[in-house]
Amino acid sequence: MTIGEKTAARPLRLLVVDDVRPNRLLIRALLVPEGHVVEEAADGPAALAALAAGPPPDAVLLDVHMPGMDGHEVAAAIRALPGPAGRVPIIALTGDIRAEDIAAARAAGMDDHLAKPVDRARLLAVLARVMPG
């Protein structure tokens, strides 16, 4: 079974949080053909509002470098939410690929790390890794 088959068998609802609209559109273009539903937020407060409105998505793809509230702050705020929203898998989206950058993302509460530029195969592999089952 390929990763595409695994993710197509269970369409996911994903929240993509990035302050750069073309980045959100790229992630959407990579995921929608795989059968996934993509919701977008342009910043941390919008992401937190979407999570508070519920139900939580299957996973959050979170840009690390955003003005105002950065990805580490957003991840920590998500982890502080009660119930399922506080346990949603979070994947860091960033150009930061050093071991200390990955460790900082994990320390902030992120479950995995995806380096930019993002390609479909790596994105689907990370989703398969963080999703239960």
- Residue pair 39/18 in contact by the 8 Å Cβ criterion: no
Evaluate whether residue 51 is within a structural domain.
Answer: yes
Closest CA to 130 of 95, 87, 97: 87
- Residue pair 1/23 in contact by the 8 Å Cβ criterion: no
pLDDT reported for residue 133: 62
The yes-or-no verdict on residue 8 having pLDDT over 70 is no
Give the confidence band of 132 by pLDDT, cuts at 50, 70, 90. confident
Could you list the residue range(s) of the whole structural domain that residue 112 is in? 3-128
Residues 6 or more apart whose CB falls under 8 angstroms from that of 44 comprise: 17, 66, 68, 69, 70, 71, 73, 74, 77
- Residue pair 63/94 in contact by the 8 Å Cβ criterion: yes
Evaluate whether residue 122 is within a structural domain.
Answer: yes
Evaluate whether residue 60 is within a structural domain.
Answer: yes
Evaluate whether residue 43 is within a structural domain.
Answer: yes
User: Domain total for the chain?
Assistant: 1
pLDDT reported for residue 29: 97
> What are the pLDDT digits (tens) for 23-43?
999 999 999 999 999 999 999
CATH number reported for the structural domain that contains residue 56 in this entry: 3.40.50.2300
Handedness of CA 96, 101, 12, 38 (dihedral sign): negative
Evaluate whether residue 133 is within a structural domain.
Answer: no
